[in-house]
Amino acid sequence: MRPTHLEVNLPQLKQNLENIRAHVAPAKVLVVLKANAYGHGVDGVAPFIAPFADYIGVAIVEEGIHLRKMGIKTPILVMGGTLREQLPDFFEYDLTLAASSLDLLTAADQLAESTRKRIKTHLKIDTGMERVGVREYEAEALIERSLVCSQFVEIEGIFTHFANSEVMSLPGSEQSPETRPRNDLVEASLQLERFQEVLSLYEKRSEPHPALRHTANSGATLLMPESYFDMVRPGVLFYGVYPARDIERTIEVKPALTWRSRVIFSKVTRLGRSVSYGSLWQAEAETRIATVPCGYADGYFRRMTNQTRVIINGKSYPQVGRICMDQFMVNAGKDEVKVGDAVTIMGDGISPEELADWAGTNEYEVMTNISARVPRVFLGEVQ
Task: Mark whether 262 and 227 lie in a shared domain.
Answer: no
Does 207 reside within a domain?
yes
Phi, psi of 55, rounded to the nearest 5 degrees: -150, 160
Task: Mark whether 210 and 271 lie in a shared domain.
Answer: no
Task: Mark whether 265 and 228 lie in a shared domain.
Answer: no
What would the mean pLDDT of 128-153 be, rounded to a whole number?
Answer: 95
What's the whole-number average pLDDT of the chain?
Answer: 94
- Give kind and range of the element (H or E) at residue 93: none
Please give the Cα distance from 34 to 42 (Å, whole number): 8
pLDDT for 122: 98
Does 297 reside within a domain?
yes
Question: Which residue(s) pair with 290 in the sheet?
Answer: 266, 330
Does 248 reside within a domain?
no
Min mean pLDDT across 66-75, 99-108, 198-207 is at 198-207
Catalytic annotation present for 14: no
Task: Mark whether 192 and 278 lie in a shared domain.
Answer: no
pLDDT of residue 181 exceeding 60? no
Q: Which of 187, 216, 232 is the last residue of a domain?
A: 232
What is the distance, to the nearest Å, from the Cα of residue 360 to the centroid of all Cα atoms in its chain? 18
Q: Which of 34, 124, 202, 242 is catalytic?
A: 34
Task: Mark whether 201 and 162 lie in a shared domain.
Answer: yes
Percent of the chain past pLDDT 70, that is, above it, reads: 95
Give the residue among 288, 277, 296 at the shortest CA–CA distance from 313. Answer: 288
Catalytic annotation present for 34: yes
Model confidence over 257-270: pLDDT tens digits?
999 999 999 999 99
Domain count, the chain: 2
pLDDT of residue 189 exceeding 50? yes
Task: Mark whether 221 and 304 lie in a shared domain.
Answer: no
What would the mean pLDDT of 203-214 be, rounded to a whole number?
Answer: 87
Task: Mark whether 316 and 194 lie in a shared domain.
Answer: no
Residue 346, domain extent: 257-350
What would the mean pLDDT of 218-224 be, rounded to a whole number?
Answer: 96
pLDDT of residue 171 exceeding 80? no
pLDDT for 170: 43
Residue 201, classed as helix, strand or coil, is helix
Task: Mark whether 312 and 219 lie in a shared domain.
Answer: no
Please give the Cα distance from 187 to 88 (Å, whole number): 37
Q: Which of 232, 265, 294 is the last residue of a domain?
A: 232
pLDDT for 203: 85
Task: Mark whether 228 and 265 lie in a shared domain.
Answer: no
Task: Mark whether 56 and 136 lie in a shared domain.
Answer: yes
pLDDT for 206: 72
Residue 155, classed as helix, strand or coil, is strand
Q: Which of 73, 254, 267, 277 is catalytic?
A: 277
Percent of the chain past pLDDT 90, that is, above it, reads: 90
CATH code of the domain containing 338: 2.40.37.10
Does 237 reside within a domain?
no
Does 356 reside within a domain?
no
Question: Which residue(s) pair with 216 in the sheet?
Answer: 232
pLDDT for 208: 81
Q: Which amino acid makes up residue 180?
A: R
pLDDT of residue 182 exceeding 80? no
Q: Which of 215, 232, 249 is the last residue of a domain?
A: 232
Q: Is 20 in contact with 251 (CB distance < 8 Å)? A: yes
Task: Mark whether 209 and 106 lie in a shared domain.
Answer: yes
Please give the Cα distance from 176 to 322 (Å, whole number): 32
pLDDT of residue 383 exceeding 50? no
Task: Mark whether 50 and 128 lie in a shared domain.
Answer: yes
Model confidence over 240-252: pLDDT tens digits?
999 998 899 999 9
pLDDT of residue 205 exceeding 90? no
CATH code of the domain containing 24: 3.20.20.10
Phi, psi of 82, rounded to the nearest 5 degrees: -135, 140
pLDDT of residue 327 exceeding 90? yes
For residue 142, name the pLDDT band (cuts at 50, 70, 90): very high
* Assessment of whether the complete model's pTM goes beyond 0.75: yes
What would the mean pLDDT of 304-319 be, rounded to a whole number?
Answer: 97
Please give the Cα distance from 220 to 229 (Å, whole number): 11
Min mean pLDDT across 208-212, 225-229, 253-257 is at 208-212
For residue 91, name the pLDDT band (cuts at 50, 70, 90): very high
Does 144 reside within a domain?
yes
| CB proximity list for 355: less than 8 A, separation 6 or greater | 304, 308, 346, 363, 366
Does 247 reside within a domain?
no
DSSP state of 361: S
pLDDT for 98: 98
pLDDT of residue 168 exceeding 80? no
Does 56 reside within a domain?
yes
pLDDT for 202: 87
pLDDT for 133: 96
pLDDT for 130: 94
pLDDT for 113: 96
